[in-house]
Amino acid sequence: MHLERLEVAPGVHEWALAEAVLKTLYDTLGCRRVDRLVLGLGELQAIDRDVFLFALKTLAEEMGGIGRVEVREVEARFRCRRCGYEWTLKGAGLGEEEREAIHFVPEAVHVYLSCPRCGSHDFEVVSGRGLAIIDVEGEGCRVQE
């Protein structure tokens, strides 16, 4: 089942993020048991995959547990709202501090990047912003299709 309405997701820190995912599964979706979870991790937010998965498993022990977790990396893509140019993070030349700021709040990318063609800061993050819950299988999950 595809959770279209849950695709835009948090870019909170890994632990806070894992907590948000679990509360969504067990509270919002009403899962009693989660057998399989598919997550998308946006390149822009640069979530530490290992820390996130550790946090998810650790916090899940206090809730209903969690089964197999699949993670899909999603490339960050941008589209300029002024000239229509599309580009990715490759060669963007972001520094460490800039990446950290974007890690906390992905929309901060509008400060640190501008359109390579026209220089506009008014661009759309087409994909790869933050975390997305793509799919879940389990007992009692009220999935919105």
Partner 1 sequence: MYRSDPRFSVIGDRLRSIDTVLVVASPKGGVGKTTIAALTALAAAGRGLQAGLLDLDLTNPCTHIVLGVDPGLELIEEEKGIVPPRIHGVSYMTVAFFTGGRGLALRGGEATNVILEILAVTRWPRLRLLVVDTPPGIRDEVLDILNIASTIHHDSRVVVVTTASRMALEAARRLLGILRDGGFRVAGLVENMATGARSGVDELAEAMGVEVLARVPYDPGLEDALGNPPALLKTRAGRALEQLLGKLF
Parallel, antiparallel or unpaired: strands 123-127 and 77-80: antiparallel
| Window 12-51: residues binding partner 1 (CB under 8 A) | 12-13, 15-16, 19-21, 23-24, 27-28
Tally of CA atoms within 13 A in the half-sphere of 109 that contains its CB: 27
Q: Which is nearer to partner 1, 74 or 125 (CB)?
A: 125
Minimal distance in Å, beta carbon 65 to partner 1? Answer: 18
Residue 21 to residues 1, 52, 133, Cα–Cα distance (Å): 17, 11, 8
Q: How far is the CB of 67 from partner 1 (least distance, A)?
A: 18
Q: Does 138 bind partner 1 (CB under 8 A)?
A: no
Burial of 73 from C-beta contacts in 10 A (0-12 / 13-18 / 19+): exposed
Cα dihedral 80, 82, 84, 89, rounded to 10, equals -20
Window 50 to 109, contacts with partner 1 (CB under 8 A): 55, 81, 97, 100-102, 104-108
Any contact of residue 118 with partner 1 (CB under 8 A)?
A: no
Residues interacting with partner 1, by CB under 8 A? 5-6, 8-13, 15-16, 19-21, 23-24, 27-28, 55, 81, 97, 100-102, 104-108, 110-111, 121-122, 125, 129-131, 133, 144
